[in-house]
Amino acid sequence: MFSRSHEAMAIFWKDCYEAFMVNLHRREREKGESKLKFQEFFVEPFTRRARQENLRYNSMLKQMTLQHSATLRQWKAAYRELVCARGPWADRCPTPLHWKLSSAENYSRMRLKLVPNYSFDPHVDASALRDNLGVQHSQPSNESLLLEAAKQVKVSGLEDDMLDLPEEELAPGSTNEDGDQNQKEKLVITEDCELITVMDIIPGRLEVTTQHIYFFDGSIEKEEGVGYDFKWPLSQIREMHLRRYNLRRSALEIFLIDQTNYFLNFKKEQRNKVYSRILSLHTPNLPGTRSPQELLKASGLTQKWVNREISNFDYLIQLNTIAGRTYNDLAQYPVFPWILADYTSEELDLNNPAIFRDLSKPIGVANEKNAKCVRERYENFEDPTGTIDKFHYGTHYSNAAGVMHYLIRVEPFTTLHIQLQSGRWVCPLFDCADRQFHSIPATWQALMDNPNDVKELIPEFFYFPEFLENQNDFDLGRLQLTKDRVNHVVLPNWAKSPEEFIYKHRKALESEFVSAHLHEWIDLIFGFKQRGPAAIEALNVFYYCTYEGAVDLDSIVNEKERKALEGMISNFGQTPCQLLKEPHPVRLSSEEVEKRQSKLDSYPLSIFQNLSELKSFFVEVKGGGISDNIPIVKAVVPKNQAHSFMSQGSPDTLVTVSQNCLIGTHGWLPYDRSISNYFTFTRDPTVSSPKCDLPDVTRMCALVPQRHTWQCLRSIRPDQPLATSSFVQSPVPTFQLVTEPSAILAPWHILEKHQR
């Protein structure tokens, strides 16, 4: 009986427990469902609304900031218009004007234009920090670790940077060009990339369509209305070349017919795809998939230089361009040679060979005393790991620091110099005055005394006198020994002004001695002495990380380590692409050219051989009321002419504007010794037609191309007849206009006359 009651009691408690657990689970489930419903109907809407409000608030703050910035820019622009030299308040509120170098180039790839620097910074703090720190050595960096990383990604072989594209990639489209114009613009390819400029690396996206190329600035901090967004018509592309960036074959450089150029860096595998797609659109003037070596050979530049049809400067700048040197990347800046060895004489005698540098030797051994030290360094160097090849020089003749060293007085390179120093210190500051570029004679003497200093020159030494002057009045410090303030660059004794230095230095570059020996320097930098046994014999071997294709950065998995190595390569310097693997031909002497010309009646005269015979032509047209005593007030070369960087001389068209608002275009006649008057000016017989006698109408006549000339295009009034003109062509043509000096007016004067 007890066992039965015990069993019944156990069953009862079991039922109670089960009922309790069921109720407990039901309550927990209901509690969970209630919590989910509370989350769904209260918490999530509140959180979502709060997030939306925060986004709206932040967006409003950003919009207000952008509006404030835009308004401030507009007010500053309006203020500048009022107080500028041509503004109504120019005399009331004179403000000091500061300048910076523009990226605009002329047809010889010279950057001559200075533009106002409205965001000028005198860098007072950088000067003060330099003075407070004094002369100290920078802290040791992690370059040794980076060099170890570079050893692991060394590339044993070097292949030409050239694409082998399948035929279908370059197949012509199914419709003709006119048909494509009428079709809707279609997207061809889009890829992420970086726009490389002197100051910044701008991330963004490149889109190629059937008609245009677009770049959209993807910078996080980009302000509305301010950025690097741009759009190019495909027809505006003049040249497009494969480039390297940080020794990686991943970049393209695009040259437009308005003389602008853009340097774009992609992922390595994406660059070739973009390049082939642009080629498949059959953009005019593109050279296809030629390597730099083939491009130089096809251009005919070497033969033109040998025959003295182009100048030494033009040939060197084109070699730099073909070899991948660019103004957009300081690590691959164009390189020019030191050509003189005399910076102390009072007079510069270009007929004396002793004043010139030996161009057959690298700058590091231009002084014979340094040759033994350099040779011993190469022979005694041994890398225990066998990774680092022997080298003569641990530094390079062209790098970012060297470019900023020379251009420290010109913005934006002043700012870049300070940023470079901020990488060595925790704060931005100027370098010590004694290490700055303060004297041309002292710089040359330092090269002669120190075999580790192997800096060559930059193109600005031959055309840009402003970089020798401290026009922005930066505080560059004082020299330790003399306590002299570093200001303008100290010039050689034979130059009394920066302009005179540039004139004589450029004249020395074009001298007979340099012309006869420049091919030897080209062999060292771009030719067969750049690599291999010839480079070893010429004492011309640099650290292997400076040579193209020597390091494969993509094999580094660690992103931070790869970025650090890229920065080291960018500052260390890069050797140009090797253009020639055989000795460069020698330039003909002036006597040899004259003999050749005398044998060929059809051989065009070279302007360089007849500088003393240059003359201008004056043409006076009478009758009909045409331009009687009416001067030309403006002459300009249009920017939209398809002029390849490999073509020399001025472009095909010159546009002139007369004081009575007549517009003329002028072109070039082929050379013909039988022509007595090279300048022709003829009246268009079509003006006698009654159709031309429309009252009070301004008309433009059509551009009539002839076989060898361009007819003059003029905007005429009913009482003014139509005229045509043309100029004679020469190997390096130069437009010349003969007008009264008082009649040559600036463009703003024309506007003022029209407004009145």
Q: 298-337: per-residue pLDDT in tens? A: 888 999 999 998 999 999 999 999 999 999 999 999 999 9
- In this predicted model, which residue has the larger pLDDT, 143 or 62? 62
What pLDDT was estimated at residue 220?
Answer: 72
What pLDDT was estimated at residue 675?
Answer: 58
Between the alpha carbon of residue 93 and those of residues 11, 89, 96, 118, 197, the distances in Å are: 105, 6, 10, 16, 35
β-strands 663-666, 668-669: how paired?
unpaired
- In this predicted model, which residue has the larger pLDDT, 349 or 165? 349
Mean pLDDT score of the chain: 77
Question: According to DSSP H, which parts of 510-627 are helical?
Answer: 512-525, 532-537, 559-572, 590-599
Note the pLDDT tens digit of each residue in 216-229: 988 776 655 566 78
Note the pLDDT tens digit of each residue in 57-74: 988 888 888 788 888 888
Note the pLDDT tens digit of each residue in 154-165: 554 555 555 544
Cβ atoms of 669 and 727 closer than 8 Å: yes
Rg of the chain on CA atoms, in Å: 34
CB-CB neighbours of 257 under 10 Å? 21
pTM of the model: 0.75
Cβ atoms of 465 and 118 closer than 8 Å: no
What pLDDT was estimated at residue 352?
Answer: 94
CA distance 156 to 740: 66
